């Protein structure tokens, strides 16, 4: 990294640090560290979008903190640092996170008073969905668990370093760090000559650092949406099918889910609107089929497996065959849609909506739609796994869906009374008329 680029990064960090509110009396000025740069480069080169193990960012007795971001396109370092600083909106000095559901840890690491040595790296990872990976290591680490509400000492700028001050920032940092929280009291009682006092410059205990996903946005305040990779599609399908094959009681007619590009495209179109709520029915019709929908929002990027597990958690509210009040039944709708026997085509999408309170939106669409109120307590037929499809079974799931859909709930009675030869019966009950062995 060129000296000019290093200066650009340091200037951006120090601008954040000198402008904290309330002002800081002991905020150290950041300087460049070649050691931290080397460790950041080493981890960035692995192209793993997760925080590195602590041993990957420790130098002797000093552990370093870390922030990490991804982007679909190359962005400037000041913009990356601004994104990390955005969690400031949830931070209040002396309290910590204003909303405990949201994080503050990228911001608090940036303004940790003694994290004054920094090194950064960028990697281009062509195989990643978001190929640009930005990483910085801060030494010594911040985000000590019991100090998260007070990452610096408030007071007049440079009050703790009047002889070593440069534009509101202290310029003389200690090369050691304490590993205990009450060193002043211990020192008064035992003195620094005690044998254990010499061991107190061990690495501090850290909170997990926030790993945030940052993307360039399209114009007009819409979210950035990218197509999911085949690996992500497989993760989604595998997670859903695992849930479907393990329902209790077991299902005799549960169809295996498969990826549907049309459903994914419709999910993508809605996700990009950054609305953050379930779409109108007219927005989720695919090839003439009405599709169901699940939607989640988050403050941080999450794996699809985690998102689906969140939807699956509403299974605790569901009891097969048991009638409940509608409002109570609604609490399990996310789960019943996931296990609706005939909803076998799925497409999902993700959007990053920078202006939203919860900027990460996850949407999946299920075709044909489930959650039919008349049969909501029995989203599948209970019985031995694959009991309705013994010749078309794959690991407890049926693989022979009917390509048609009945438009009426009482097709069996209509066919029995009038027969499929009647045009109006055939049109309204096409699945029942055409599919004799398939799951419909």
C-alpha 365/C-alpha 368 separation (Å) is 9
Q: Quickly state the pLDDT bin for 178 (edges 50, 70, 90).
A: low
The predicted structure's pLDDT at residue 183: 56
Query: Which DSSP letter does residue 172 get?
Result: -
Q: Quickly state the pLDDT bin for 164 (edges 50, 70, 90).
A: very high
Q: Tell which phi-psi region holds residue 51, choosing left (phi > 0), alpha (psi between -120 and 50) or beta.
A: beta
C-alpha 438/C-alpha 440 separation (Å) is 6
- Mean residue pLDDT of the chain comes to 86
Q: Quickly state the pLDDT bin for 289 (edges 50, 70, 90).
A: confident
Taking each helix axis as running N to C, give the angle between helix 230-245 and helix 304-312, from 0 to 180 degrees, rounded to the nearest 10: 30
Residue position matching structure tokens 């440069």:
166
Residue 225 CB partners (closer than 8 Å, separation 6+): 268, 271, 272, 349, 350, 351, 352
Percent composition of the chain: helix, strand, coil (DSSP 3-state, to 5): 35, 20, 50
> Which of 254, 243, 238 lies closest to 384, judged by CA?
254
* pLDDT tops 70 at residue 192: no
The predicted structure's pLDDT at residue 232: 92
* pLDDT tops 50 at residue 211: no
The predicted structure's pLDDT at residue 212: 29
Residue 257 CB partners (closer than 8 Å, separation 6+): 237, 240, 241, 244, 343, 344, 345, 346
Residue 307 CB partners (closer than 8 Å, separation 6+): 296, 298, 362
Lowest mean pLDDT among 149-153, 193-197, 277-281, 358-362: 193-197
The CATH number of domain 405-440, selected from 1.10.10.740, 3.30.56.10, 1.10.1040.10, 2.40.30.10: 1.10.10.740
Residue 397 CB partners (closer than 8 Å, separation 6+): 241, 244, 245, 254, 255, 256, 385, 386
**Per-residue pLDDT averaged across 337-361, rounded?**
91
Q: Quickly state the pLDDT bin for 91 (edges 50, 70, 90).
A: very high
C-alpha 392/C-alpha 401 separation (Å) is 10
Cα 300 → chain centroid: 5
**Per-residue pLDDT averaged across 37-65, rounded?**
89
CATH class of 3-199: alpha beta
**3-199 shares its CATH topology with 405-440:** no
Domain ranges of the chain: 3-199, 219-401, 405-440
Residue 418 CB partners (closer than 8 Å, separation 6+): 425
> Tell me: the pLDDT tens digits for 292-318?
999 998 877 788 988 999 899 989 899
Of how many residues is the chain composed?
A: 440
Domain spanning 219-401 has what CATH number?
Answer: 3.40.33.10
């Amino acid at each position: 990294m060129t000296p000019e680029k290093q200066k650009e990064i340091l200037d951006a960090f120090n601008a954040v640090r000198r402008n904290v509110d309330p002002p800081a009396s002991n905020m150290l000025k950041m300087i460049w560290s070649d050691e931290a740069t080397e460790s950041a480069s080493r981890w960035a080169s692995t192209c793993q979008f997760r925080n590195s193990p602590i041993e990957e960012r420790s130098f002797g007795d000093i552990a370093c903190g870390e922030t990490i971001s991804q982007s679909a396109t190359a962005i400037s370092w000041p913009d990356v640092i601004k994104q990390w600083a955005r969690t400031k909106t949830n931070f209040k000095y002396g309290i910590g996170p204003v909303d405990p559901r949201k994080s503050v840890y990228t911001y608090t690491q940036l303004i940790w008073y003694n994290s004054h040595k920094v090194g950064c790296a960028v990697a281009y990872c062509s195989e990643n969905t978001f190929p640009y990976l930005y990483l910085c290591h801060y030494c010594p680490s911040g985000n000590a668990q019991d100090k998260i509400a007070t990452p610096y000492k408030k007071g007049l700028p440079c009050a703790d370093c009047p002889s070593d001050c440069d534009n509101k920032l202290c310029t003389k940092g200690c090369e050691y760090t304490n590993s205990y929280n009450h060193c002043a009291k211990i020192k008064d009682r035992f003195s620094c000559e005690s044998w254990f006092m010499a061991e107190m410059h061990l690495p501090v205990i850290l909170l997990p650092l926030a790993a945030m996903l940052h993307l360039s946005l399209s114009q007009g305040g819409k979210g950035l949406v990218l197509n999911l990779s085949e690996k992500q599609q497989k993760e989604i399908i595998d997670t859903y099918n695992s849930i479907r094959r393990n329902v209790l009681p077991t299902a005799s007619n549960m169809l295996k889910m498969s990826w549907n590009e049309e459903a994914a495209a419709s999910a993508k179109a809605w996700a990009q609107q950054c609305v953050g709520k379930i779409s109108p029915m007219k927005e989720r019709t695919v090839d003439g089929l009405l599709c169901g929908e699940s939607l989640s929002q988050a403050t941080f990027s999450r794996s699809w497996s985690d998102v689906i597990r969140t939807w699956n958690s509403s299974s605790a509210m569901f009891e097969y065959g048991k009638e409940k009040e509608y409002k109570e039944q609604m609490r399990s709708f996310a789960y019943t849609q996931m296990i609706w026997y005939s909803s076998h085509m799925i497409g999902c999408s993700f959007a990053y909506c920078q202006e939203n309170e919860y900027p990460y939106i996850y949407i999946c669409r299920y075709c044909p739609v489930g959650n039919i109120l008349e049969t909501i307590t029995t989203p599948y037929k209970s019985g031995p796994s694959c009991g309705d499809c013994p010749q078309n079974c794959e690991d407890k799931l049926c693989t022979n869906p009917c390509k048609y859909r009945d438009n009426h709930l009482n097709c069996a009675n209509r066919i029995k009374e009038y027969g499929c030869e009647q045009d109006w019966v055939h049109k309204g009950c096409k699945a029942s008329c055409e599919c004799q062995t398939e799951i419909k």
